[in-house]
């Protein structure tokens, strides 16, 4: 089990402005600087070994994960990296305190970008540390095939480590702070996006188009 107590974040305000389609660079620069000063990017991960693979589930160090998609993604994989990444709660708190709705929105979205960059930095670190070319990930709840209930075995693999970075799992299996992400990271030849298998039409977080052919190949669309 490893804890990363401080993750370096490099976030260019010009990039933030473009992604948020904001008209004013100066205000975005100020908010980005403010958000970065409040962010507390941390992570925990462990290297875990796959013990068993069935048609639609995989057992990782005694914990069973039922998912056709995860199982297919781990076809040629023997070792995975369960992890939790967070940026703390201060950005969310600042957004709630603001009386300006646009500021609330920008801070929330900048927090999401910081969290995504923290996850990307974790991937880069894992690749360096374990001599891997590429890693993809799957997060519980990202697909109907792998519902949020998978948080339980995922957190079981990590033991008390998430609490050490201030992350707790609620009764509804959501994480606090809200700007946190969990997942199983795994070696892959190309980057896997759950979005390709999700037919939901309206999703602001979509990273790839829905691919019906891929959904059939993964066995989640008949």
DSSP letter for each residue of 15-80 = HHHHHHT-S-HHHHHHHHHHHHHH---EEEE--EEEEEE-SSEEEETTEEEE-HHHHHHTTT-SEE
State the Cα angle at 52 between 50 and 55, rounded to 5°. Answer: 120
Cis previous bond, 161, omega within 30: no
Is 183 part of any domain? yes
Contact of 221 with 212, CB cutoff 8 Å: yes
User: pLDDT at residue 203 above 90?
Assistant: no
Structure-model confidence comparison of residues 149 and 196, the more confident one: 149
Domain membership of residue 109 as a residue range? 2-217
User: pLDDT at residue 117 above 70?
Assistant: yes
pLDDT grade, residue 202 (50/70/90)?
confident
Number of domains in the chain: 1
Please compute the mean of the pLDDT values over residues 20-44 and round it to a whole number.
95
pLDDT grade, residue 220 (50/70/90)?
confident
Please compute the mean of the pLDDT values over residues 76-95 and round it to a whole number.
97
Mean pLDDT value across the chain: 94
Contact of 79 with 98, CB cutoff 8 Å: no
Is 23 part of any domain? yes
d(CA 101, CA 105): 6
State the pTM of this model: 0.93
User: pLDDT at residue 199 above 90?
Assistant: no
Is 24 part of any domain? yes
Is 207 part of any domain? yes
Percent over 70 (pLDDT), the chain: 100
d(CA 179, CA 85): 9
**Predicted pLDDT at 41:** 98
pLDDT grade, residue 212 (50/70/90)?
confident
Please compute the mean of the pLDDT values over residues 186-190 and round it to a whole number.
93
CATH number, domain containing residue 116: 3.40.109.40
d(CA 171, CA 164): 19
The token pair that represents 108 in the structure block: 């929330």
Phi and psi at residue 80, in whole multiples of 5°?
Answer: -125, 175
Is 222 part of any domain? no
**Predicted pLDDT at 170:** 95
């Amino acid at each position: 089990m490893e804890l990363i107590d401080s993750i370096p974040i490099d976030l260019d305000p010009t990039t933030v402005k473009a992604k948020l389609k904001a008209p004013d660079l100066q205000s975005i620069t100020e908010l980005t600087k403010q958000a970065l000063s409040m962010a507390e990017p941390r992570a925990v991960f462990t290297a875990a070994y796959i013990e068993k693979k069935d048609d639609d589930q995989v057992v990782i160090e005694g914990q069973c994960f039922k998912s056709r998609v995860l199982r297919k993604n781990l076809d040629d994989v023997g070792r995975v990296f369960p992890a939790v990444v967070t940026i703390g709660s201060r950005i969310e708190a600042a957004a709630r305190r603001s009386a300006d709705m646009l500021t609330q929105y920008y801070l929330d979205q900048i927090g999401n970008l910081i969290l995504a960059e923290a996850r990307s930095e974790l991937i880069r670190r894992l690749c360096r540390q374990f001599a891997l070319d590429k890693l993809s990930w799957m997060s519980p709840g990202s697909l109907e095939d792998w519902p949020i209930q998978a948080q339980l075995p995922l957190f079981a693999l990590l033991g008390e480590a998430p609490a050490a970075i201030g992350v707790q799992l609620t009764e509804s299996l959501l994480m606090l702070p809200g700007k946190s992400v969990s997942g199983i990271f795994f070696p892959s030849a190309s980057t896997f996006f759950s979005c390709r298998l999700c037919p939901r039409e309206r999703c602001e977080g979509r990273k790839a188009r829905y691919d019906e052919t891929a959904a059939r190949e993964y066995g989640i669309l008949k």
